[in-house]
Every structure is written in structure tokens, then in C-alpha cells.
């Protein structure tokens, strides 16, 4: 099963590139799928492609889904733009591939970040409740989740849709195997 996951994870980026010969316009969900990244941190790429000088593994033990958490303290990446300085960047990897990128920021910068995301990926987002500052841009290959409704949790999360599906299938397969072993 692990071999099939690895093969599929290598083939999907090639299929994505083949589908998009031309760069999609900024302001569309297709642009999110095309970029699949925050600056030089690209979803689905090897964690080893990041500058090791700024990359710190948070734990030698994977979480319950087999992912590892890293901190990434690259000063260029911490400068979000639009007069926003990120508090920190965290990255989750799965089978040495970047599965998610967490950008943690000050709550008061939420509107500036939303403005940048709306400019980049359009206004076709889901909002959990009009009174809450929580937004989700869903692409075919990448998602972006933004929340800044609480001071304790102001974050933007890029996630790789394909890797997420593999993780869910593996977890379900593991549960099915455990159930059949009862």
C-alpha cells in the first residue's frame, strides 16, 4: 500500500503540470491549484527541499496520522507581505512530503491576509458563519483555511488535498485491519 501511495504522490504533480500549460489567472481557485505553495514552501514537495538552516523537527515521533511537525524560521518566509509579519510557520510532512503549511499571525492582521487571499484565489470561498472570520478556499489539489476569529487561534493553513486523501484512506484501512483482527 505504501508503494502505491508513493507512486501516486509522484505522478500527481506531473498530471497537474500537464493539465495547466498556461498559468491560470490570479483571483481564481485554479491559481491556488497551480501554485500549491506559500512562497518557496510547496505542497507535495520533499521536506528536504527547504533550507535546513531554518528547519527544526518538533518531534521524532509522528502524530496519530503518521505526520511530522516542523518549525520553519526563514526570515523571508516570515515576511508575509502587505505589512504582515508572521509569528511562526509550521509544516507537517507525510512520507517526507510537505502535507500542510501553517502560517500563524496576529489577529489584527487577519483582514490584510484575507485581502491577499481573495486577490490571489478569488472570492469563491466558504464561510462558516457571516459573523465569524473563518474562510475556506477549496481547490482540486490544494485547500486554504483562514481563521482569525479568536486571538488564541489566528492561522492560515495550506493543505495538500491528495496527501490528505491518502492519509484518510490509510487510517481507514488500518482501522478496518484492526477490526478484522478482533
**Span 110-128, pLDDT tens digits:** 999 999 999 999 998 998 7
Cβ atoms of 104 and 88 closer than 8 Å: yes
The Cα 24–Cα 21 span in angstroms is: 9
98 - beta bridge partners?
A: 93
Rounded to 5°, the CA angle 114-115-116 comes to 90
pTM of the model: 0.84
List the end-to-end C-alpha distance of the chain, in Å, as a whole number: 22
Question: How do the domains of the chain map onto residue ranges?
Answer: 2-174
pLDDT score recorded for residue 90:
98
Q: Count CB atoms within 10 A of the CB of residue 2.
A: 9
* pLDDT tens-place string over residues 33-67: 999 999 999 999 999 999 999 999 999 999 989 99
Amino acid at each position: 500500500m505504501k508503494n502505491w501511495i508513493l507512486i501516486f504522490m509522484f505522478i500527481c504533480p506531473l498530471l497537474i503540470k500537464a493539465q495547466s500549460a498556461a498559468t491560470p489567472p490570479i483571483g481564481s481557485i485554479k491559481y491556488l491549484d497551480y501554485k500549491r505553495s506559500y512562497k518557496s514552501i510547496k505542497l507535495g514537495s520533499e521536506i528536504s527541499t527547504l533550507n535546513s538552516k531554518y528547519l527544526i523537527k518538533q518531534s521524532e515521533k509522528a502524530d496519530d496520522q503518521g505526520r511530522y511537525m516542523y518549525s520553519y524560521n526563514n526570515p523571508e518566509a516570515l515576511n508575509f507581505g502587505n505589512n504582515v509579519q508572521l509569528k511562526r510557520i509550521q509544516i507537517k510532512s507525510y512520507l517526507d512530503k510537505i502535507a500542510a503549511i501553517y502560517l500563524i499571525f496576529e489577529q489584527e492582521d487577519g483582514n490584510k491576509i484575507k485581502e491577499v487571499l481573495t486577490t490571489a484565489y478569488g472570492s469563491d470561498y466558504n464561510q462558516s458563519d457571516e459573523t465569524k472570520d473563518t474562510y475556506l478556499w477549496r481547490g482540486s489539489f490544494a485547500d486554504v483555511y483562514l481563521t482569525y476569529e479568536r486571538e488564541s487561534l489566528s492561522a492560515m493553513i495550506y493543505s495538500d488535498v491528495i496527501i490528505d486523501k491518502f492519509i484518510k484512506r490509510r487510517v481507514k484501512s488500518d482501522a478496518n485491519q484492526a477490526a478484522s483482527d478482533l
